[in-house]
Amino acid sequence: MRLVVRTLSELCITAGALVVLFVAYLLYWTGVQADSASAAQIDTLQREWADTPVAAAPARVPAPYVTGKGIAVMYVPRLGRDWKWPVLEGTGPDVLKQGLGHYARTAPLGGTGNFAVAGHRRTHGDPFKDFPRLRPGDAVVLTDGTTWFTYRIDRGPYRTVPADTAVVDPVPRKSGFDGPGRYLTLTTCDPEWGSSHRLIVWAHLDATRPVTDGRPQALDS
């Protein structure tokens, strides 16, 4: 009996240690990895932009997005003055470990339609941890190295189920938009440590500004 009790106790201690290590991995190590990966993605984008003559940008045909490659950098002042994440093409697990992901079937940045982006609520850097704080009127600013795009949130956070893929339609039914336009959708998981539902915000393109004119006011207010 003592041997059985001792064995069970050791198994419980081992299981508990594994649980603690797994939680530490989720809370800490995935964040370290995401911070490093996202910084590398932003650095790569900035070096590519530095090698491209900005003056030639309006005449340049944008290259097709490539899965796993960075396409823009996003800023959301409501989520913090230092909040800055790269947006990569695709929404697969490997992509979302490095930053935010652009839904491949949605519009390009600044284009007519719906530029839709997903991000983790928790783990892998917690980019959308404070997603519920977003409110109508908040700015979401992106740059592709040639232009600043300032979107303004119109509705959200709206809670729905993962199967509700209509939230990233060109004109999402429940967004309040009544016709074609230049829209932005952000999505993340809900509840905070689960994935049974999704939180959504919808925004419209409010202004554009060449990078040569400096940062938009939304980032400095």
Write out the chain's pLDDT in tens, 221 residues.
Answer: 666 656 666 555 654 444 444 444 445 557 778 899 999 999 999 999 998 765 544 445 567 999 999 999 999 999 999 999 999 999 999 999 999 999 999 999 999 999 999 999 999 999 999 999 999 999 999 999 999 999 999 999 999 999 999 999 999 999 999 999 999 999 999 999 999 999 999 999 999 999 999 999 999 87
| Distance, CA of 36 to CA of 55 (rounded, Å) | 31
Tokens 């045909």 — which residue? 61
Residue 25 located in a structural domain? no
Q: What is the per-residue pLDDT for 62?
A: 67
* Strand boundaries in the chain, DSSP class E: 70-75, 84-89, 100-102, 113-118, 139-143, 147-160, 182-190, 197-210
Query: Looking at the 3D structure of the chain, how many domains does it have?
Result: 1
Residue 34 located in a structural domain? no
Residue 179 located in a structural domain? yes
Catalytic residue selected from 12, 102, 120, 197: 120
Residue 198 located in a structural domain? yes
- Structural domain for 180, as ranges: 46-219
Is 12 a catalytic site residue? no
Residue 85 located in a structural domain? yes
* Strand boundaries in 15-146, DSSP class E: 70-75, 84-89, 100-102, 113-118, 139-143
**DSSP letters of 151-179?**
EEEEEEEEEE-TT-GGGGSSS-GGG---S
Contact assessment for residue 192 and residue 133, using Cβ atoms and an 8 Å cutoff:
no
Residue 187 located in a structural domain? yes
- The CA distances from residue 174 to 143, 156, 215, in Å, are 27, 10, 32
Instruction: Provide the token pair at 207.
Output: 């202004």
Is 120 a catalytic site residue? yes
The CATH number given to whatever domain includes residue 93 is: 2.40.260.10
Residue 126 located in a structural domain? yes
Instruction: Say whether 202 sits in a helix, a strand or coil.
Output: strand
Catalytic residue selected from 12, 102, 189, 204: 189
Residue 123 located in a structural domain? yes
